[in-house]
Amino acid sequence: MPWRSWSSTENRALVVVVTALQLLLVAVVWLLAIVPAGLLALAAIAVKTIRGGAARGGPDPRP
């Protein structure tokens, strides 16, 4: 018996909707993992920049 691409019980629209929902779920989980890491990296850069500027005491007065 050859394999058929669509059985008679599957609804093509339902398959498309479920696939789209699965892709959306993957994207949301990915963003939930990436966004906090990016924000932490930006905060670390900002803190390092602020501390570095405060430690020097401002711009160099020498010409």
Report yes or no on 62 lying in a domain: no
Model pLDDT for residues 32-59, shown as the tens digit of each residue: 999 999 999 999 999 999 988 666 665 6
Q: Which two tokens stand for residue 28?
A: 């949301």
- Print the domain residue range for 49: 30-54
The amino acid at residue 54 is A
Tokens 């609804």 found at: 11
| 12 touches 18 (CB < 8 A) | no
CA–CA dist 23, 44 (Å, integer)? 32
Note the pLDDT tens digit of each residue in 15-36: 999 999 999 999 999 999 999 9
Per the structure, the count of domains in the chain is: 1
Q: Is residue 45 part of a domain?
A: yes
In a domain, 2, yes or no: no
23: in domain: no
Place of tokens 């500027």: 53
